[in-house]
Chain A
Amino acid sequence: MSERDNIFARIKEALMLKAHASHGHGLPLVEEHRRVMPPVGVTIEEQLTLFANNASELKATFKFVKDVAELAAELKVLSAAEQWQRAATHTGSLAHSQTMALGLATIVTNYGYDKDELELCDVGITECDALIAQTGTVLVTSHSAGGRALSCLPSHHVVIAHRSQLVADLPEAMSLVKQRYSGNYPSMISFITGPSRTGDIERIIVLGAHGPKRLTILCLQN
């Protein structure tokens, strides 16, 4: 017998005994989750405000931009302020065109890249799958955000999102992933809630432990 069979045999034998404690049967419905989980408001406006508040509590920057022109201007301002030399992005059309417009040395991860060079980039600019109001979370996948490293290795992660990508809560985000990718899941799905942090030294929060020190979310209104 293989070790797999051994383990399954042990599990099956163990489960022949009924557990003493019981916590009720069957899996809770998503509605039951929603009744206990943190509230999220009703209207889109409420949820946008909730997202913005959560983001600021997390020390992420969240900004609305009216249109693509304003987005480009915002990126220019950031680039100048932080003196970006090198940028990285992916083939997502908006992220790609916006990054190229900055006129910096640029890596496009989908075309293949050298990891040492990606590490040197001042910024990684990506798109995303959703913004989650409940927790101020940005949902990215290896499909939507140019692989695994782009949203984590450069010291500043800039997310370009669209107002219509806002979802109310975590269950909605989960079901969105299932609908969008079912049968062809990306190999990585990441719920990003604020810039990287640690509290391992005297429980004092320091941003940028191993991942990005800054997280900026630019949200298109139209």
Chain B
Amino acid sequence: MSAPATHFKEASRRMAADLRHRRIIQTAMVKYETVRDQRKLWFQDWQGARNLAARTKFEAVNHLDQYLEQFVRLIESRGTKVHWAGNAEQGREIIFNILRAKNAKVVIKSKSMTSEEIHLNDAMVAAGYEVAESDLGEFIMQLRGEEPYHLVAPSMHLTRGEIQDTFAQKLNETTTDSPEDLTMLARRVMRRKYLQADVGITGANFAIAETGMISITENEGNARLTSALPKTMVTLVGIEKVLPRYEDLALFLPMLAVMGTGQALTCYNTQYGGPRQPGEADGPEEYHVVLLDNQRTLLLADAEQRDTLGCIRCGACLNVCPVFRNVGGHSYGTVYAGPIGSVITPHLRGLKQWKHLSDASSLCGACTETCPVKIDLHHHLLQNRRNASAPTAGKPGFFQKLAFKLFAVVANHAALWSLTTKLSRLGMKLRGLVNGSFFDPTRAWTKTRELPPIAKQSFREWLKEREL
């Protein structure tokens, strides 16, 4: 078993049994579901909107070269410097070069999963830069030295008390545990950083080809300030984030908000087309856009799973996933958790090491059903399973074959079938005597689950009674 697989197995077993954790996540998700469903009804035709969004992304991804070329040409025409990073290391190097050229000391960041993907923070901190994550959830994660728990809500697994403790320990600041007070404390701390920072680094939600702009979605205003105050602004963006037209935002911004947080529209949806232009009051003197490939062209080359590049990182598939809800975001050991993470991580980081994530699914299809851009997530998990087992495909092991043969015999003979049902009922009773002990054959299963009792009456018995 690969190291990531061992971690996943160990962590998910632990988390699934952690009732407190499950309660926190459950409460948060139920709140999310309620507001999300109200917002979906606000649309005249939500399913129609998903079709249009999927169509738009299909067009964008399948003409990626054209749209990317157009985006770059236009954003460069306003004085933006565009950089190309083939992999994570090149991405970090480009950003380090900018930091060195600007003689930077303090860096302020707004939320960017792509920067997590290339482990930018750790690298900057190791190189001696002072780095501040300005998004509240990310800030809390940074203070605790944890990875974001969730694409959209990095700190959703924490209670206010835990956050209060973190602030007290790491910032030496005490306050009550009210979310209001905790938020205001973070606001005060971060304000100083905005004013000090030499360079601001942001992520991006969309890159618009038609107008040559980056679009950033956020609620807190931290990205707005990150892009307003430091003299140099850097945006790190995956090459797949292009949208063809400015008007496409009219569809995607509300859909992202509804799926991400259940809002109609996120507080700030801002487009950046360059550094400060002549006649403007403020803004950075330099604007750098770093376009990152890092195996995205590999996903593009997979004709079956190309649609995964349309992902808008709304986090909806995590929220509805029964596996995510039970094992939590950290068990995956990946930057991108949940169904989308399970699908793309084997592509981004190697199938051999990460194929176990294809099994982190009940294949219920809830993810596919909710995805606003209609990515066929659960089928992609099946395809990854197939790809991982390709060399031995069609050759099940001896015991597996035997088990299915026996099952076929039983299932094909009515008398045997009903005998087996009766025997199982007896077995259930006997199991009660050894419940959970070494002699209990079901103990691996029942350690974290309840074994539902077999019905007192089978369907056939029930039917017979009524036919008489």
Contact = CB atoms under 8 A, between A and B. Distances in A.
Nearest to B85: A3
A35 interface: yes
Nearest to A205: B179
B228 A193 contact: no
Given A178-B211, A193-B265, A198-B219, A19 B307 contact: yes
Given A171-B250, A201-B179, A208-B187, A21 B307 contact: yes
Interface string A22-37: 1111111010110111
Contact of B179 (A10, A153, A204): A204
A148 interface: yes
Interface stretch (B270-278, B325-333, B418-426, B457-465): B270-278
Interface string B253-275: 11000000101111111111111
A139 B282 CA distance: 18
A18 interface: yes
Contact of A146 (B213, B248, B281): B281
Contact of B300 (A3, A14, A20, A112): A14
B303 A18 contact: yes
A143 B279 CA distance: 8
Interface residues of A, number: 87
Interface in B58-85: 58-59, 61-65, 68-69, 78, 84-85
Contact of B84 (A4, A27, A149, A191): A4
B220 interface: yes
B211 A20 contact: no
Contacts, number: 302
A203 interface: yes
A188 B265 contact: no
Nearest to B186: A209
B144 interface: no
A3 B48 CA distance: 39
Contact of B187 (A4, A30, A175, A210): A210
Indicate the size class of the contact surface on chain B. Answer: 35 or more
B191 to A, nearest CB: 6
A147 B264 contact: no
B283 A147 contact: yes
Interface string A115-141: 110010000000000000001110000
Which of A119, A186, A208, A211 counts the most chain B CB atoms within 10 A? A211
A211 B268 contact: yes
Interface stretch (B238-246, B399-407, B432-440): B238-246
A21 B368 CA distance: 13
B155 A211 contact: no
A190 B32 contact: no
Interface in B192-217: 195, 211, 213
A170 B254 contact: yes
A181 B386 CA distance: 51
A39 B190 CA distance: 39
Nearest to B32: A203
A94 interface: no
B293 A7 contact: yes
A216 interface: no
A24 B222 contact: no
Nearest to B261: A199
B327 to A, nearest CB: 20
Interface SS of A by simple majority: loop
B429 interface: no
A10 B159 CA distance: 45
A100 interface: no
Interface in A89-117: 90, 109-110, 112-113, 115-116
B306 interface: yes
B64 A11 contact: yes
B187 A190 contact: no
Interface string A193-219: 111111111111010111110000000
A116 B194 CA distance: 10
Which of A6, A11, A171, A178 counts the most chain B CB atoms within 10 A? A11
A27 B191 CA distance: 42
Nearest to A137: B265
A127 B293 CA distance: 40
Interface stretch (B1-9, B37-45, B388-396): B37-45
A47 interface: no
Contact of A149 (B78, B246, B282): B282
A11 B301 CA distance: 8
B261 to A, nearest CB: 7
B298 to A, nearest CB: 8
B446 interface: no
B140 interface: yes
A188 B179 contact: no
B180 interface: yes
Contact of B297 (A7, A136, A190): A7
Interface string B17-38: 0000000000010011000000
Contacts of A112: 281
The 8 A-B residue pairs with the shortest CB-CB distance in the complex, in nearest-first order: A211-B221, A147-B281, A148-B228, A209-B220, A14-B301, A170-B250, A10-B297, A200-B137
Interface of A: 2-4, 6-8, 10-15, 17-28, 30, 32-33, 35-39, 54, 90, 109-110, 112-113, 115-116, 119, 135-137, 142-143, 146-150, 152-153, 169-171, 173-175, 177-178, 185-204, 206, 208-212
Interface of B: 28, 31-32, 42-46, 48-49, 51-52, 54-59, 61-65, 68-69, 78, 84-86, 90, 134-137, 140, 153-156, 158-160, 163, 179-180, 182-184, 186-187, 190-191, 195, 211, 213, 219-222, 224-225, 227-229, 239, 244-251, 253-254, 261, 263-277, 279-283, 287, 291, 293, 297-298, 300-301, 303-304, 306-307, 374, 376
11 contacts: A6-B84, A10-B293, A11-B64, A19-B306, A25-B59, A26-B59, A27-B56, A35-B48, A187-B276, A200-B153, A202-B179
